[in-house]
Amino acid sequence: MNIADCRNFNDFRELAKKKLPAPIFHYIDGGADDEVTLRRNTSAFDDCDLIPNILASVGKPDLSTTIFGRKIDMPIFLSPTAMQRLYHPDGDKASARAAEKFGTFYSMSTMANNSIEEISNISSGPKLFQLYVHKDKSITDDLLDRCKRSGFDGMCLTVDTLVAGNREKDHRTGFTTPPKLTLSSLISFALRPSWVLKYITNKKFELSNVKKKTDKGTNIAKSVIDYINEQYDPKMNWKDAEYCVKRWNGPFALKGVMSVDDAKRAIDIGCTAIMISNHGGRQLDGSRSPFDQIKAISDAVGDKLEIILDGGVRRGTHVLKALAAGAKACSFGKMFLFSLSAGGQQGVEHLLKMMHDEINRNMILMGCKNLSELNNSKLIYRK
């Protein structure tokens, strides 16, 4: 099996599983607790149906939209995800280049293995930075200022990781960053020698954006969970978020909003967007899926800020359903990380091409000429 054989989420997942040492694969693949929310994020799309219109003479549908002040060629983009060099030696460079090629957003995590400056040097495409508020405020300020200087278009503040979720697969596999060899994981690394070879022969693993401020996660083998619990400020509140919005002074989103009340408050503190997300089911198991919640949020605030649906998207039709329910765009993490693991930049490009073609095909089958024609009238929820 190779990249050309990958035609859907599961194909990419299977190929990634073949390429990655088990602890790393399961770090992407796993969710919190019993993974009930992780599964619901996708299955929620199956509880409503699309109603197409016929004889609409669609021609070539316009898939473009505008988010964070940038026009993008299709209503999907790459969610910020940490430590991409674990999945492929090119890491963020591969995803940034692939996203630019398809005219959409690449997003950088605070915990990226490439620096803000490095990525802005190689990509002039739309870029979003994902911020964690650290206990050490100077880390937060430093990240905001560097992104501004480097020409990032948008900023998103993650608000659903005040404490780490219970990712049991990571407990079992002993996943750490940087990867640590333990007796139990030895065999899973030994089974993927080409991954190990690339990992040790390429640039040293580091958390490039925060390495000057803290050596945690770079020099000392830490589990991600310990890192989150030690470095992130659990006292973060609306004032802190407002401070970040002001300091950024540009398109700003809260990532991880789930309640209507919080969506309204996001407007009050000056956000231009929210990302409805439960962190891919990796934090609070049992929390509602973004798609189940989007209509209520869209009805309340859809005309005042951009709504991004983050989580569970596997298919072009999922994107269409999310847009019909009120999203401006969708983002995904797992799906593109599997494609990155499976084939680096080429893998991510293959995925984006596949998703583009699916959205394009399904827009034609829906009889829609542009994304604004996707509205509530095209959806019926099953009772």
- Is residue 125 within 8 A of residue 96, CB to CB? The reply is yes
Q: Which pair of tokens denotes residue 243?
A: 């401070």
Q: What is the nearest approach in angstroms of another protein to the Cβ of residue 50? A: 5
Query: What is the dihedral sign for C-alpha 302, 306, 310, 315?
Result: positive
Q: How far is the CB of 334 from another protein (least distance, A)?
A: 16
Q: Is 4 in the site for another protein (CB under 8 A)?
A: no
CB of residue 331 to another protein, shortest distance in Å: 19
Closest CA to 311 of 301, 300, 319, 302: 319
Applying CB under 8 A, among 88, 192, 255, 318 the residue interacting with another protein is: 318
Quick one: which of 181, 165, 194 has its CA closest to 23? Answer: 181
Any contact of residue 366 with another protein (CB under 8 A)? Answer: yes
User: What tokens does 200 get?
Assistant: 């040790």
Verify whether residue 318 is a known catalytic residue: no
Q: Does 13 bind another protein (CB under 8 A)?
A: no
- Which among 19-27, 70-78, 134-142, 356-364 is the span making contact with another protein, rule CB under 8 A? 356-364
Strand pairing report for 70-72 and 379-381: unpaired
User: Residue 363: which of 159, 150, 59 has the closest Cα?
Assistant: 59
Q: Site map for another protein, 38-57, x if CB under 8 A? A: -------xx--xxxxxxxxx
Structure-token pair, residue 118: 């490095």
Does 370 contact another protein by CB under 8 A?
Answer: no
Which one, 56 or 225, has the nearer CB to another protein? 56
Cα–Cα dist 266/250, whole Å: 14
Q: Is 299 one of the binding residues for another protein (CB under 8 A)?
A: no
For the chain, the straight-line distance linking the first and the last C-alpha, in angstroms and rounded, comes to 41
User: Which residue out of 26, 88, 134, 279 is catalytically annotated?
Assistant: 279
Nearest to 281 by CA among 253, 313, 251, 317: 313
Question: Applying CB under 8 A, which part among 122-130, 205-213, 243-251, 311-319 lies near another protein?
Answer: 311-319
CA distance linking residue 321 with residue 337, whole number of Å: 23
**Position among 141, 265, 364, 369 found at the interface with another protein (CB under 8 A):** 364
Question: Nearest approach, Cβ of 358 to another protein (angstroms)?
Answer: 6
Cα separation of 52 and 40, whole Å?
25
Which residues, 52 to 81, sit near another protein by CB under 8 A? 52-59
Give the interface with another protein as residue ranges (CB under 8 A). Answer: 7-8, 45-46, 49-59, 314-315, 317-318, 320-321, 358, 361-362, 364-367, 380, 382-383
Residues designated catalytic: 279
